[in-house]
Structures are given as C-alpha cells and as structure tokens.
Structure 1
Amino acid sequence: MSLRSSGTTCAVRGCHHNRTKLNLWLQQECYDHKPLTKSECSCPQWFSFYRLPAAEEDRRIWLRNLYLKKPPKTLYVCSFHFVDKKPTAENPYPTLWLGYYRPPEKKRRKLQRKETGAASAGVLKDECGGTNSKAQVLDGRNSERPK
C-alpha cells in the first residue's frame, strides 16, 4: 500500500509526516491496551499538526524559522518541531529539526603522489639497462628500441 499524502503534510524541509501516516498508526493495535487500537486507548498520539497562526507577527516568525521560499497556502507543522510538542506561551514557534542545518560537507582529500627513487633523481633506466635522462624520455627524443 502506498503512503500517498492526504494534503496535510508537515511543511518542514525533510520531514515526511503526513495525515496518512498518522491514520495508519492510529489503526494499529495498542501494545499496552491489547484489544484496543491506538485511536481508542488513552495513550498519547504519535504526533499532531498545527496550522500557521493568524497573528501577523507570529506568522512572520514562523515563516522565518521555517525558511521557505514559497510557503504553501495551508501550512502545517508537526509536533516534533516544537520544544513542548505543541505551541505554548513559553515556546510558541517551531525551533527543532527544521531541516536547513546540515552537517558540513566533507572536503575531498587531495592525492599525494609518491615519486620513486630513480624518477626523483632525474634518471630513468630503459629496458636494456642503459640510462636516459628524464628530459629525453619525456620529450620522446630517445625513441630507440633495444634489439
């Protein structure tokens, strides 16, 4: 069964909580209250959704915290992004796991090439055992083949 979104989706970048996942969780059997489902028992809900507030100042702070270039018309944020699992008087704005704090990217290390003893001295040996200067081998002037 695919978990297609029902329209109520958390607006935080990287958060995949939606109403369909919540409804499927509510239909499961509760482990503590065995015959009851999770929607029928007294256990707390896994997560819940909160809409963008109507007050202009609060709306501006929510949108600034979420850092969305184009916010959706109906914006929902799940309870995972609030300190108290819901907007309260002390913590009315979403501040946790907002999706734009990423760990720093790993820089690629540069390869260090090791030079061999003969190559670093500037002298290369050919197949016959003779020595050629490095400049002659690289320029291709010494292109004689051993017989």
Structure 2
Amino acid sequence: MPDDRLDEQEETWGSLYGLITKVLDGLGTADPMGAGDYLVVDDNYGFRCNTVEVHSLTMLRPAVIRALQVQLADADDWEIVVAVDNPRYGGSVAADGPDHPSRRDHRRPPAKLLSDGVPGSRLRGQPGGQGLRLI
C-alpha cells in the first residue's frame, strides 16, 4: 500500500475509533476483560474497518447499531465489525448462563434482534449493508 493510502487509512481508522468509543461510552461500559458490555478493539491491522467486541447482547439493540452506522457517514468503503464475544463463558454462551436461549425472551428471537428495524445491517456473507458486519 502506498504511503499516502496508509496515512489515509491510519487517519480514518483513528478518527472512527474515537467516534465509536465516544458513542458506546454513552450506551454501555467498556472492559477489555469482558466484565463490561463491550470492547472497541484498539489494534489497527491496516484494513478499512474497526472492530467492536460485544460482551452483552444488549449492545445489539437496534438503537446501538444505528448509532454505529451513523459514524460511517463520511467513511467511504469502511465498515464496523461487531463480533459477539462472551469471555465469561469461554467466548461462547454456556448452557446454563444468563444469555442461554432457554432464558431469552422468546417473543423476540435473536435474528430479529440483529436486524429488526436496522436498515442496512447485514450478517456476514449477505450482500448489501451500510458498512456494518455482525459476526
């Protein structure tokens, strides 16, 4: 990658990192060890994306996802990767944990939680979307 494109990538990545952090600070608690609601990953690997690890499924509410999408308005060809990671259960949901399907509100299944009312959201492998990838 030429130096000017690298500089642009670093500048945009840093700007989005700050915007994402500011938005999520008002919506939940950050914690790199998983005790909070989320983590904005502070490693820049040179791609045109920023990553948020979600430790609490409440951070997948449509209002939170929309707030993240808005941050991409001036960032062409960028995306925010939202990855569900629950370190309290070894990175996955434990069979008896509070987030287990048997304890969910079955009136609103998880698939609806991810996409209901969120124009442009998409799951990995689906076309479209406004730069937001939920994995």
Q: Using structure 1 for the length normalisation, give the TM-score.
A: 0.22
Q: Using structure 2 for the length normalisation, give the TM-score.
A: 0.23
- Answer with 1 or 2: which has the greater Rg: 1
Higher normalized contact order (CA 8 Å, seq sep 6+, divided by chain length): 2
Q: Which has the higher helix share?
A: 2
